[in-house]
Amino acid sequence: MRHSRRPAARFLVLVVVAGGALAGCASSSGSGAELSGTDVEGKWTQTDSKPPVYLELAEDGGLTGSDGCNQLTGSWEVDGTEVDFGDLGATMMACEDVDTWLSGAASATVDGDEMTILGDGGKEIGTLEKSE
């Protein structure tokens, strides 16, 4: 009686294909990787700022925050590897010695627990760290 190795070979091919498919499903929020809402939802702060600078991105696409002087409100959505901020509005208080850079946010990239805020034209204007 001859034994065939084909069933074992088919099993090995199946294991390799399944392993590759599972690896392709792994999620990474590193620079250049596709983002998901769960990668960016939560509170992002500038840890060394007084008064606090922060953005809070809600699950429903709403955004609130502060640039250290003015209250911010708006919306956000993930677009591939970036977060786009839409309809960003701010109060217009005048605060001495406060850099209100965050009110110029147009989009952001996320690399792990760091969010790089981009202004018009994609120019980096600051960074925030994930705090929640």
Q: pLDDT by residue (tens digit) across 49-58? A: 888 899 999 9
Q: pLDDT by residue (tens digit) across 12-58? A: 333 333 333 333 333 334 456 687 777 899 999 998 888 889 999 99
Which among 102, 125, 126, 128 has a CA at the least distance from the CA of 114? 128
**What is the reported pTM?**
0.72
Output 68 or 22, whichever has higher pLDDT.
68
Q: Which residues sit opposite 111 in a β-bridge?
A: 114
What the chain holds in terms of domains, given with CATH numbers, is 30-130 (2.40.128.270)
For 6, the token pair is 């084909």
CB 21 within 8 A of CB 33: no
